[in-house]
Amino acid sequence: MKLRKVKGLNGTIAIPGDKSISHRAVMFGSLAKGTTHITNFLSGADCLATIDCFRAMGVEIEQDGTEVIVHGNGLHGLKKPEKQLDVGNSGTTTRLISGILSGQDFDVTLSGDESLNKRPMGRIMKPLSTMGADIQSVNGDGCAPLKIIGKPLKAVHYDSPVASAQVKSAVLLAGLYADGKTSVTEPALSRNHTELMLQSFGVQVSSQGTTAEVTPPAEMTAADIVVPGDISSAAFFIAAGLVTPDSCITLKQVGINPTRNGILKVCEAMGADLVLSNVKDDSGEPTADITVKTSNLKGTEVGGDLIPALIDEIPVIALMAAFAQGETVIRDAAELKVKESNRIDLTVDNLVKMGVDAEATEDGMIIRGGNPLKGASIHCRYDHRIAMTFSIAGINADGETVIEDAECVDVSYPTFYEQLQMLSGQ
């Protein structure tokens, strides 16, 4: 993908469905009795991998673009797949499904692409093993491929060392099959979509502070799920509208769940012209339209308990910092090293390539903003969020920017380039 400066971004777009919520809707619909209708499903590669996994375990799932109908098999209705499950590039599929598979009465192996098979799985293997699951890393390196032999599970309380919704969810989903109440305490509150959506499927879940507890149900009941727009996808156009001269963009129906909306707080601290309207809160997952206009941003500090609420947005926040006056310090974000790529190193390397004064630290990065950006050839290591971050950089840089492997945006945002072009009036 080749990009050059644009004359401004203007217009209104609908943001595709939330990736985290789309995964969960398919998973929980598969485990429920009855028919689950999903509207505004994210038809990106990651969520399609989740659909394929559950189809391979005997669940009938109809998909027509963003509309999905899941004919659930009930809590104990999954069947042993004929082959190993392919989880593609998706960490969410891998970790959440591992919790579910731990409690089945069959064994299964799951494996993903090169990047996925390098990501740490010890973080779920440990608590799931404590519950009685037999879960092994096939190559003994703590990564996928994982072989999971379903077992009867014991209820536990798990004190997680990481604020990770994937870890929390893996344990809570295994807890659906345990012999009592299972709870997880995390060091800071991560996204709570699992807790909220399990309740919609009739499961008793309670949350207090950073602890969530699930009571194993006899059955789950089907639900209708309307997936809000993904704030992690909206983030690229929030940043684009703020840093591109002569811009005004409205993003419709974006999810603003407080466990996800850290970027809005950072925008406020940076002095962004950002307005929420049409705020709705009907399903426990609040949404709003977000309007952003070109702004003079100032540097800020990002860290502490806010990190889990914006973990996927840090590369694009770093880009906003490159356009801000003064210094931005991002800390407490070592988790970024084990995402689809090492996002600390890759973000900083690519920023520096474009002429930004940026440096990596142990747990984040420091960006001194204000230098003009120059076009560069960007390597994303097939990381969708790096590709989109540096595409927004490219339309604000002198000269040409080339994004290698740009097709990786399909993982979470297949219509990204189409919408970018539409907003730039080209």
Residues that constitute the known binding site for 3-phosphoshikimate: 19-20, 24, 164, 166, 312, 339
d(CA 395, CA 2): 10
Nearer to ligand S3P, 330 or 397 (CB): 330
d(CA 294, CA 204): 45
Angle at 8 between CA 5 and CA 11, to 5 degrees: 135
Mark the binding-site residues, compressed into ranges: 19-20, 24, 91, 119, 164, 166, 312, 339, 343, 385
Question: What CA–CA distances, in Å, run from 180 to 10, 129, 151, 306?
Answer: 53, 16, 15, 32
Residues lying near ligand S3P in the complex (CB under 6 A) are found at: 20, 92, 164-166, 169, 190-191, 311-312, 335
Nearer to ligand S3P, 166 or 233 (CB): 166
d(CA 183, CA 172): 7
Please state the closest distance from residue 124 (CB atom) to ligand S3P, in A. 10
Nearer to ligand S3P, 201 or 323 (CB): 201
Please name every residue paired with 69 in a beta bridge, in sequence order, or none if there are none: 37, 62
d(CA 332, CA 408): 27
DSSP 159-205: E-SS--HHHHHHHHHHHTTBSS-EEEE-SS----HHHHHHHHTT--E
Nearer to ligand S3P, 164 or 244 (CB): 164
Please state the closest distance from residue 326 (CB atom) to ligand S3P, in A. 28
HSE-CB for 186 with a 13 A CA cutoff? 22
Question: What CA–CA distances, in Å, run from 182 to 20, 152, 205, 256?
Answer: 22, 14, 10, 28
Mark the binding-site residues for phosphoenolpyruvate, compressed into ranges: 19, 91, 119, 166, 343, 385
Which residue in 46, 312, 383, 410 is the catalytic one? 312
Q: What is the end-to-end Cα distance of the chain in Å, rounded?
A: 15
Nearer to ligand S3P, 73 or 164 (CB): 164
Active site residue 281: no
Write out the catalytic residue numbers. Answer: 312
